[in-house]
Amino acid sequence: METLKGKTAVVTGSSRSIGRGIAERLAARGALVAVHYATNATAAQDVVEAIGKAGGRAFAFGTELGHEGDAERFWAEFDVQRRAFSDDGDTGVDILVNNAAVALRDHFQDATVADFDRMVAVNIRAPFFIVQHALDRLRDGGRVINISSAVTRLGLPEVIAYGATKGALDSFSRILAKELGSRGITVNVVAPGYVDTDSNADWLRHDKDAWEETAAKSVFGRVGEPEDIGDAVAFLASDAGRWITGQHIDASGGTRM
């Protein structure tokens, strides 16, 4: 299964939940994984240690996204920690997964400028400039995989601003696929649906009725797991995904089909 051996992957927001699932799957397939976190260094180190115990290779680096100059700081810190991990001097990247996001629940009439601006800054501005600042280090034949959301097609009023930022990410990804195609770099979107994550714990894990109702929205009758998304990303990151680009991959388990 070491289909990514010799590759370096960067996964934003991978200290927990879906990001962790992606990081662990990429590492299991042989990639060296850079586990990015915003503020929780301990959680990121837990991921690194779990990957190591499973026979993989990973290191952590931290940068809080959503602020002026975040992309520059992101890659500067990546370089520091990559060189600390190995003195081979290689700071190139083969796989870049933009997973970090802020999902604030605001109905249209209650949405605030502060919430809107925060989600725009993290969910679309940060990925845009992280990729831009990675152009010189992203190797030809590489992969950019942006994590969107099924909310862009479900039309949920309580996440209208969040959905708008993910819709922007979808559009950015399609255009970026044309921009980078001449270098053999694929750009795709993976859109999860309802997934059992830390952020959903309060209303999902501890409420049997909510769990059963959510599970019923998928044609498989279950709630998604971070590993489900990790496997979809790992496929696109592998050589098997070389002829797929500019696509929106629904990874929602057939939610509300």
Kindly list the catalytic residues: 162
| Collapsed DSSP state (helix, strand, coil) of residue 11 | strand
53 within 8 A of 24, measured Cβ to Cβ: no
Whether 38 contacts 32, CB under 8 Å: no
Nearest to 118 by CA among 70, 179, 171: 70
Question: Do 130 and 98 form a contact (C-beta atoms < 8 A)?
Answer: yes
Give the Cα separation of 242 and 240 in Å (integer): 6
Q: Is the dihedral of CA 230, 251, 7, 167 positive or negative?
A: negative
Task: Cite the DSSP H helix spans in the chain.
Answer: 17-28, 41-53, 70-85, 113-120, 126-132, 151-154, 160-180, 208-215, 226-237
Q: How far is CA 99 from CA 14, 72, 90, 108, in A?
A: 7, 18, 23, 25
CB 75 within 8 A of CB 10: no
